[in-house]
Chains A and B, each alone.
Chain A
């Protein structure tokens, strides 16, 4: 049961933004811009970064839902997602993406863990300033989302099918859910 009185049966962050839509609005706008806005990183790659950070933060709701979204977006390459979560360094993704995931993983620990050598390595593999900025901000924002969702003990479904359905919806984008009927 959640620590506060949120709509019953509604999972994760959805229940929290229904409770407090005034903060839900900028949170969903941030997610939409970061994960679906114009970028040289594909939405699939950005969802993968989000899932990777959430997995490292041990947030079941966030990593399960964003991994599902990433699998939808990767389409025939969906297995990449599970390979990255299993062993990022050995996964079949580009060296540039591995360098960005390395930075995301360090941000997940703390911002000061990111060293110039990590940035240089990513740049040497072709990462742009904008890609570095977005990687850091995705990792930082999921360090927030994970704590928000688990900090209030919001409902975490255990059925993988629930996350598969969420993934299909999330692949289309992030819009604030309507308020529950009073």
Chain B
């Protein structure tokens, strides 16, 4: 458990995906994902505390259509940042996503802009954002809000990259470093602050949340 026991309270759990394009088999895939995961969407967001510091938290589930970001996912992320700005809380988002949800076409692509804009607005309001990359975090999620944390943490060995490892390999005929598109690769190149094991996550997040919260209390 990353958050304080019993502290999690879900928000926006009533948002569910529709099939805006009439995309082949999308409603069936949604139904299957709901059944398999017990979730209504690929990301769950809400309020919680970690070491008693209140925060806005969200976690994506790769099991729900590859954790893909469609309208609901993007809307929940945007609302999380807006709520954080309103309530003066930090945001912690755990990503696990193959990218934008193809079945929602352009509307899914627009969630990249929507979530990135929401990060910017929360940033302007003085809200800290800690982005946690779990395996895999790729495509449109890595290329939007997930790369924009004030602090970016990643789990060891997680697949983290823009295009997905298979695509890269095909294009380069296998001439790639063995850690290509992993947390460690992103760390080496300066896009991840720390590689953090799941068991240490609570402690590290607690430290950062206290750092940000103290600063705000004294600085107004």
Q: Do A and B come from one complex?
A: no
Which residues does B use to contact A, with CB under 8 Å? Answer: none
